[in-house]
Amino acid sequence: MSRIAGVPSVVSMTFSHSPTQTDRSLRRRLGLPLTWLIGLALLALPRVVLHDLGAIEEGTTLNALFVLVPPLVWVAVVLWKRVPNAFLTLLVVGVCYGALLALGHQLMWDATFGGEQPRLGGNLAGTDPEAQSLILRTFAVGSSLVTGTLVGAIAGAVAWVLGALTGRSPGGRGNADESRRRS
């Protein structure tokens, strides 16, 4: 076998990071292990299921609790754990939530619509029903991802502000004061 000088063979190539190195790197940047990030996102999943089954309705106190409590828990956890960047950490949690939201809506699709699939209107009303379903489901996935990301961004912004005001974040006033006292 001939070798070109300076070019590694396929056999000698290895991945630069093992899964544990990647998890450590992620944890260092986000301040929480991947399992915690997914676990926090899972806290919001019961509302998805209950809403899609029609067990809770918009505008009720119960629905408000299912909407507000998970992001409040997210904020509390990042402040408690003093993550390096609360905004980024909760943005990632929000993206995970958006993916779970999309998956939940797709799995609950038939139960949500009771066997009568939604239809497009206007110029697209005559489109093939299978194509309509594909279009609607695609937009539902996109909407879920955007919603989850926005919830994470808002929660992250709240956590960032609260962390800065209370000194509960690595960049907050409390830590700067503490480091000056040690000097």
Residues 62, 63, 66, 68, Cα dihedral to 10°: -110
Residues 132 and 126: their CA atoms lie apart, in Å, by 9
Residues 116 and 156: their CA atoms lie apart, in Å, by 38
Q: What is the pLDDT of residue 24?
A: 75
Q: What is the pLDDT of residue 177?
A: 44
**CB distance 152 to 94 below 8 Å:** yes
Q: What is the pLDDT of residue 116?
A: 81
Look up the pTM and report it: 0.78
| Element of type H or E holding 48 | helix 45-52
Q: What is the mean pLDDT of residues 151-159?
A: 97
What are all long-range contacts of 2-5, with beta carbons under 8 Å and residues at least 24 apart? none
Cβ-based neighbour number of residue 50 at 10 Å: 15
Residue 5 pLDDT greater than 80, yes or no: no
User: In the structure encoding, which two tokens stand for residue 149, read together?
Assistant: 């990301």
**pLDDT digit string (tens) for 77-112?**
999 999 999 999 999 999 999 999 999 999 998 888
Q: What is the pLDDT of residue 181?
A: 41
**pLDDT digit string (tens) for 34-90?**
999 999 999 999 999 999 898 999 999 999 999 999 999 999 999 999 999 999 999
Q: What is the mean pLDDT of residues 147-174?
A: 86
Nearest Cα to Cα of residue 143 among 85, 86, 104? 104
**CB distance 155 to 83 below 8 Å:** no
Residues 46 and 55: their CA atoms lie apart, in Å, by 11
Q: Which amino acid is at 121?
A: G
